[in-house]
């Protein structure tokens, strides 16, 4: 699966980051009445994960240009045709189905939303 993304950061982000994530699983994209929202979770102090290999988001961060580090500098960040394999998510017990992923990235210091990312995918592990 290939993913592309362009994000514009309009100001320097000097505080650490908080990521809120919500996952919804459906039997199929045509069966939205089967969707089940999983328990949302929050990761605080997310900057510490930027330089760790073999995390589910490593492939995204490695393809992001320019390379992102904390503090995040104002600018345009582009992810072009990043390949995501099931191995990137090996620690997660995904069953076959249609998934909706929602990620909200916040400035941990003031709570401002930096960006929201929505991804829909059909997985056949």
Considering Cα of 51, then 53, then 58, then 63, what sign does the dihedral take? positive
Domain boundaries, the chain: 2-123
What is 55-100 written as a DSSP string? STTHHHHHH-BSPP-SSBPSEEEEEEEEE--GGGGTTS-PPSEEEE
Q: How far apart are CA 107 and CA 19, in angstroms?
A: 9
Class of domain 2-123: mainly beta
Tens-digit pLDDT profile for the chain (125 aa)?
677 889 899 999 999 999 999 999 999 999 999 999 998 999 999 998 877 777 767 767 788 899 888 899 999 999 888 776 655 555 556 678 898 999 999 999 999 999 888 888 887 76
Q: Omega into 118 within 30° of 0, i.e. cis? A: no
Q: Which two tokens stand for residue 109?
A: 């210091």
Its pTM surpasses 0.85 = no
């Amino acid at each position: 699966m290939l993913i592309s993304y362009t994000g514009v950061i309009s100001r320097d982000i000097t505080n650490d980051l908080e990521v809120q994530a919500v996952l919804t699983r459906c039997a199929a994209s045509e069966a939205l009445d089967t969707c089940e929202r999983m328990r949302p979770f929050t990761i605080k102090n997310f900057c510490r994960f930027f330089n760790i290999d073999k995390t589910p988001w490593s492939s995204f961060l490695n393809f992001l240009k320019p390379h992102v580090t904390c503090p995040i500098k104002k600018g345009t960040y582009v992810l072009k045709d990043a390949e995501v394999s099931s191995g990137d998510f090996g620690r997660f017990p995904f069953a076959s189905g249609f998934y909706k992923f929602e990620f909200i990235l916040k400035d941990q210091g003031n709570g401002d939303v930096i960006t929201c990312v929505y991804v829909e995918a059909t997985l056949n592990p």
